[in-house]
Amino acid sequence: MQLNTQAIKKCFEKSMDKYDQNAFVQKNMAENLVFNLLNVRKDFDVIVELGAGTGLLSELISENFIFKKYYANDLVGKSKIYISKFIPDAQFILGNAVKIKIPEKSDLVISNAMFQWFNNLKTVTDLYKSVLNNDGLLAFSTFGPKNFVELKHLSGLTLNYYSKDEIIKILKPDFEILYLDEYCQVVNFENPLALLAHMKNTGVNSLSAKTWNIKDVKNFCDNYIKSFDSVHITYNPIIVIAKIK
């Protein structure tokens, strides 16, 4: 699926004020990532965070790690305001994470719930391999193929999710995988409208460039009720920590 970067930017910009109260799965992923990274290393000279968003991960990093410099990237300029609350001296880099330039080598490139938006994971890992110092770490959370299977069933909309085995295959030539975990989390809702609101408030409606009208919403709700016994959505997080070889 070819993604529209501007559509993604617009949707996430609109959802930012409500993101934290809705993104409980993403918050759990950030906590999982940080908890396991603490078992590997706690002290860094330079950290680069990709897709920093509202600072869910930035806050945890500021509370748990020691670092000298912090570069935070996001598509949305408003992200800088959120990040500065947790890391006041962070240097913000606006733009697409595959097109920005990192000013210096880093010890850690980290990202939470963002890598699934990349069209080509191999291109991304090659790019950030060149940014890392010797023994530098690449730590990220993403989503696997079971993510939003209900949405795919109803609408056909899906991202190019990589499986755990595919991630291992991409990383193995250049990275030593220190930690890798995959799990599913099912989130229940009162009705399909509540599910749609949740997706909107976490920016997931950027999967489609089309703006839904009342008829589209009604069709989705009717089809959901017909297709499933309960109203829910499946998340399929994958947590990865790897060290450059």
Q: Return the pLDDT at 202.
A: 87
Domain for residue 90, yes or no? yes
Q: Return the pLDDT at 208.
A: 54
Domain for residue 16, yes or no? yes
What is the spatial distance between Cα 152 and Cα 48, in angstroms, rounded to a whole number?
Answer: 33
Q: Return the pLDDT at 2.
A: 47
Task: Tell me the residue range of the domain where 83 lies.
Answer: 5-145+159-184+236-244
Other Cβ atoms within 10 Å of 173 Cβ, number: 11
The tens digit of pLDDT for each residue in 110-144 reads 999 999 999 899 999 999 999 999 999 999 999 99
Is the pLDDT at 1 greater than 50, yes or no?
A: no
Domain for residue 189, yes or no? no
Q: Return the pLDDT at 18.
A: 86
Q: End-to-end alpha-carbon separation of the chain, Å?
A: 32
Q: Tell if the pTM clears 0.85, that is, is over it.
A: yes
Q: Are 105 and 46 in contact (CB under 8 A)?
A: yes
Q: Are 146 and 215 in contact (CB under 8 A)?
A: no
Q: Return the pLDDT at 10.
A: 77
The tens digit of pLDDT for each residue in 44-69 reads 999 999 999 999 999 999 999 999 99
Helix (H) or strand (E) run with residue 125 in it: helix 121-129
Is the pLDDT at 19 greater than 50, yes or no?
A: yes
Domain for residue 198, yes or no? no
Domain for residue 69, yes or no? yes
How does the average pLDDT of the chain come out, rounded?
Answer: 92
Domain for residue 211, yes or no? no
pLDDT band at 75 (very low <50, low <70, confident <90, very high): very high
What is the spatial distance between Cα 52 and Cα 193, in angstroms, rounded to a whole number?
Answer: 28
The tens digit of pLDDT for each residue in 27-39 reads 999 999 999 999 9
The tens digit of pLDDT for each residue in 198-244 reads 988 887 755 555 577 899 889 989 999 999 999 999 999 999 999 99
Domain for residue 114, yes or no? yes
Domain for residue 66, yes or no? yes
What is the spatial distance between Cα 107 and Cα 193, in angstroms, rounded to a whole number?
Answer: 43
Q: Which two tokens stand for residue 58?
A: 């930035």
Q: Is 193 exposed, middle or buried (0-12, 13-18, 19+ CB in 10 A)?
A: middle
CATH number for position 35? 3.40.50.150
Chain-centre distance for alpha carbon 167? 15
Per the structure, how many domains does the chain have?
Answer: 1
